[in-house]
Amino acid sequence: VLDGLRWGVARFGNLFFPSDCAVCESPLTDFRSVPVCASCLNAPEPMVAEFACRECQTPFLNEYPLLPDGVCAACRLGMVEYRYLYCFGSYDGALARLIHLFKYQGMKPLAEPLGRLLVRALPRHQEFDLIVPVPLHWWKQWRRGFNQSAELARVLSRHSGIPWRNALRRRRATEVQAGLTRSERRRNVAGAFAVDSVTGKKILLVDDVITTGSTVAAISRVLRRAGAAQVSVIALARVDRRLPVQAANASSVLKSQSAKSGAI
Binding site residues, Zn ion, CB under 5 A: 21, 23-24, 37, 40, 53, 55-56, 72, 75
Which of 20-49 are b and which e, b meaning 16 or more Cβ less than 10 Å from the residue's Cβ?
Answer: ebbbeeeebeeebebbbbeebbebbeebeb
Using CA atoms, how far apart are residues 140 and 147, in angstroms rounded to an integer? 8
Kindly give, in sequence order, each residue whose CB lies less than 8 Å from that of residue 226, ignoring residues fewer than 6 positions away.
195, 197, 198, 199
Nearer to Zn ion among residue 83 and residue 201 (C-beta) = 83
Q: How far is the CB of 235 from Zn ion (least distance, A)?
A: 15
Q: How far is the CB of 121 from Zn ion (least distance, A)?
A: 17
Q: How far is CA 177 from the centre of its chain?
A: 18
C-alpha torsion 7→11→12→16, nearest 10: -140
Nearer to Zn ion among residue 109 and residue 154 (C-beta) = 109
Q: How far is the CB of 137 from Zn ion (least distance, A)?
A: 29
Please state, in angstroms and as integers, the Cα–Cα distance from residue 71 to each residue in 75, 195, 255, following that order: 6, 30, 19
Nearer to Zn ion among residue 22 and residue 155 (C-beta) = 22
Nearer to Zn ion among residue 105 and residue 166 (C-beta) = 105
Q: How far is the CB of 212 from Zn ion (least distance, A)?
A: 13
Kindly give, in sequence order, each residue whose CB lies less than 8 Å from that of residue 253, ignoring residues fewer than 6 positions away.
241
Q: Angle at Cα 124 formed by Cα 121 and Cα 126, nearest 5°? A: 100
- Determine the residue type at 96: A
Nearer to Zn ion among residue 40 and residue 156 (C-beta) = 40
Q: How far is the CB of 95 from Zn ion (least distance, A)?
A: 13
Nearer to Zn ion among residue 40 and residue 132 (C-beta) = 40
Nearer to Zn ion among residue 37 and residue 216 (C-beta) = 37
Q: How far is the CB of 20 from Zn ion (least distance, A)?
A: 8
Q: How far is the CB of 154 from Zn ion (least distance, A)?
A: 25
Task: Confirm if 17 and 31 have CB atoms less than 8 A apart.
Answer: yes
Reference 238, options 228, 246, 229; nearest CA is: 246
